[in-house]
Structure 1
Amino acid sequence: MLDFHLHRQQGAFTLDATLKVPARGVTALFGRSGSGKTTILRLIAGLERPDHGHLRLDGECLTGGENDIFVPAHRRRLGVVFQEPRLFPHYSVRGNLRYGMPRALTPAQRQQNQSRLHEMVTLLGIEDLLSRMPGQLSGGEARRVAIGRALLSRPRMLLLDEPLTGLDGARKQELLHYIARLAREIEIPILFVSHDTRELFAVADRLALVDNGRITASGEIGDMLSRLDLAPQTGRFEAGSLLTAEVLSHDDDWQLTRLGLGAGLSLKLARLAMPVGRRVRLRLRARDISIALETPTHTSLRNALPAVIHEIESERGHASAELVLGIAGQRVRARVDRLVCQELGLKVGLGVKALISSVALSGPDVISLDAMDDDIPVVNAAQLSAAQPNATQTDTAQAKAPNDAGSASPAS
């Protein structure tokens, strides 16, 4: 577990942030540009030093304490991936990946390195890129290589600083897929910095909101996104909910998939390329949910789920009202006109029908919670951390890179 309280004064900007990050899963630092997210990450990585505070990882003090400890970046064993991949231009993809690996002094160590490299290449889907130079990679490919290089250094934690910035829609979706997959298949924590709500839906397990240098709230992402009091920070237009579901069946004739939500409830959406039994996380946008007092007839809406209103927030000056519904024991946000609330007599405790169009949901709104491919090996903590400490994958490693071209590396 990562535990920190960090204070740093930068001109007129004051950072005073406190957070505990679990030992596994993805914790997202979310906030607008300039809120302090990257500064927090750099302080954790050891690239900057706080004015005071403490930082502990797995019980080890890296910053602060009674003796004012400050462990340098290259001894922290943290994998860091920046907005720019920062690959060594004179190394091939294979050379970049092998650079962060420990030096192999014996045949057994060389075999271990080779096996680990193969596992990482397979996990990231970059088998066909190994002989390419960084200048021949797309933005998404380069960032996958950067993530692989960081993981092959056997870090105790992976820090991702807005790794999707500047990518187009298709490349961003591709990399989101791989980050979500990594989160399921490696057993080290990931700290993910972002200012895009859609990225959080895809990869985060926990959410920490950063505003003006402070972490104002943190918790499980589903709980955080359903809190109406946090709407100004989490965003209103893209506001929504995350539901846990299971693939129950496919209808090949009509190209539909039925997802089970629990308590005997299910909903239909466009067919998913996932097997029956797969556990998934489903994103429902608040603006895509309508409310009815009874199940309507003669309508194009395919899903009418029984729900109970838990909360209503209706403010004068806003055209819409925000609702929190209980559906199969899960919290779901909905947005309706304030006038509709009055006309339908909506109130806390009232049973209603939540209407959801099947075409409002698509593949990107559904993320698998299980391994995507049974033949992909899980990279566990022992594989990543068993060896001696290695240099952090940061500017420090960039500065130490050798000048000779090609794919040879110290890890060969």
Structure 2
Amino acid sequence: MMLQVEVHHRFPGLALDISFEAAGGVTALFGRSGAGKTTVANAVAGLVRPDSGQIALNGRILSAPGIWTPPYRRRIGYVFQNTRLFPHMSVRKNLLYGAADDRHLPRVMDMLGIDHLLARHPQSLSGGEQQRVAIGRALLMNPELLIMDEPLSALDPARKAEILPWLERLRDEAGLPILYVSHSVAEVARLADRVVLIDAGRVARIGTPDLLLSDPALAPRLGPREAGGVLTGQVTEHADDGLTAIETPAGTLHLAADVAVGRTVRLRISAEDIVLSTRYPQGLSALNILPAQIDALHTEGAQMLVHLRLKGEAALVARITTRSASAMGLAENVRVFAILKSVALIHHS
């Protein structure tokens, strides 16, 4: 699959000047509220007609000067923030609304775990169940591309935790490219293969979640607590004391995780949860200590972002005070040890 997007569009308060390509997997349009993410998604879906530019999907030009393909002919499924299910219809009828036939219904129901909901109506479902039905309806339209616009923003933390594993399964099993709109670093780090960072109507950076979250130059755009990094590893052992060993290119990490041996996981580390030491620390409760080298330092008032290069070309960003950096004599190429106070298991596949 190849999605090619060039959108130029002006409206009150913002001028969009966006260009990117997406080839399979999950491409996240990420940025703060008001950055222009949803407008780009709507332009791809045909819900907004850009002032200029070109949008093409698998070689089919959907939008260009003198060319306009209406939404219903674009073969794009759209899952909105609000599920937009028909309250007077059963789940089954909602799922099949717009579908050519019901041949793929069993597979979609199994993939999303909604087979037991068919006879019910939307008002009797939880927010997470409603969202899974909305995703199923979009899939049954046999699209070439699925757009998901902030699909978890209206859900409370419990419902988000409920639906995220289903989104992972959708990504891994559907074989369908997904354009995922979000301002949540946690969702993007967990689900995305590629991130298009949009800031004030323009593409600020394109890359993988691990590269973007570990780039100190992007910290102001990500938010005060969102920088840090993502490490990918494989579960190698479950110890008798309940801790799980995860082998990453940067070294072995230990944490409590109920994931089968052999599975691949992503680990998200916040910049605030990294302590630096110029010597290997002794007598600490922290178990996860990784050798690193300082690539760069970025001062932010009384604080400093320290870009760390780890083994295997992995990278993290630590946030410390400028006073601490001065006292420790931190500078580029200085070798340090990164002590991880907290590691979040954010994805398993």
Pairwise same-fold verdict (TM > 0.5): yes
Deviations 1:210-268 (A, max 9, x none): 222222221222111211111111122122211110001001x31110110136x2011
Alignment correspondent of 1:148? 136
Find 1:234's aligned residue among 213, 218, 222.
222
Distance 1:34 1:366, change over 3 A: closer
Does residue 173 of structure 2 align to residue 173 of structure 1?
no
Whole-Å Cα distance in 1 between the matches of residues 173 and 295 of structure 2? 36
Whole-Å Cα distance in 1 between the matches of residues 98 and 264 of structure 2? 34
TM-score using structure 1 length: 0.81
Cα distance, 1:144 vs structure 2: 0.8
Counterparts of 1:8-407 in structure 2 under 5 Å? 8-22=9-23, 24-64=24-64, 68-103=66-101, 113-114=102-103, 116-251=104-239, 253-262=240-249, 265-270=251-256, 272-315=257-300, 318-329=301-312, 330-357=314-341, 360-362=342-344, 365-368=345-348, 370=349
Whole-Å Cα distance in 2 between the matches of residues 178 and 233 of structure 1? 29
The one-letter code sitting in structure 1 at the alignment partner of 2:346 is V
Deviations 1:66-96 (A, max 9, x none): xx11000000000001110011222211111
The one-letter code sitting in structure 2 at the alignment partner of 1:197 is V
Whole-Å Cα distance in 2 between the matches of residues 184 and 202 of structure 1? 12
Look up the SS of the partner of 2:93 in the other structure.
Answer: helix
Structure 1 gap ranges (5+): 104-112, 371-412
Whole-Å Cα distance in 2 between the matches of residues 307 and 14 of structure 1? 41
Deviations 1:313-338 (A, max 9, x none): 124xx222111212222111111121
Whole-Å Cα distance in 1 between the matches of residues 13 and 129 of structure 2? 38
Percent identity over paired residues: 43
Cα distance, 1:361 vs structure 2: 2.7
Distance 1:5 1:343, change over 3 A: same
Cα distance, 1:99 vs structure 2: 2.0
Of the two, which has the highest radius of gyration? 1
Does the Cα contact within 8 Å between 2:128 and 2:155 map onto a contact in 1?
yes
Whole-Å Cα distance in 1 between the matches of residues 205 and 346 of structure 2? 26
Deviations 1:96-140 (A, max 9, x none): 11223214xxxxxxxxx44x2111111111122121101111111
Alignment correspondent of 1:387? none
Alignment correspondent of 1:399? none
Whole-Å Cα distance in 1 between the matches of residues 112 and 123 of structure 2? 19
Does the Cα contact within 8 Å between 2:42 and 2:48 map onto a contact in 1?
yes
Look up the SS of the partner of 1:174 in the other structure.
Answer: helix
Q: Structure 1: which 4+ aligned runs deviate by more than 6 Å?
A: none
Structure 2 gap ranges (5+): none
Cα distance, 1:192 vs structure 2: 0.9
Alignment correspondent of 1:380? none
Question: Which protein has the bigger strand share?
Answer: 2
The one-letter code sitting in structure 1 at the alignment partner of 2:117 is L
Whole-Å Cα distance in 2 between the matches of residues 351 and 186 of structure 1? 44
Does the Cα contact within 8 Å between 1:197 and 1:235 map onto a contact in 2?
no
- RMSD between aligned alpha carbons? 1.5
Whole-Å Cα distance in 1 between the matches of residues 180 and 335 of structure 2? 38
TM-score using structure 2 length: 0.95
Whole-Å Cα distance in 2 between the matches of residues 258 and 47 of structure 1? 47
Q: Which has the higher contact order (CA 8 A, sep 6+)?
A: 1
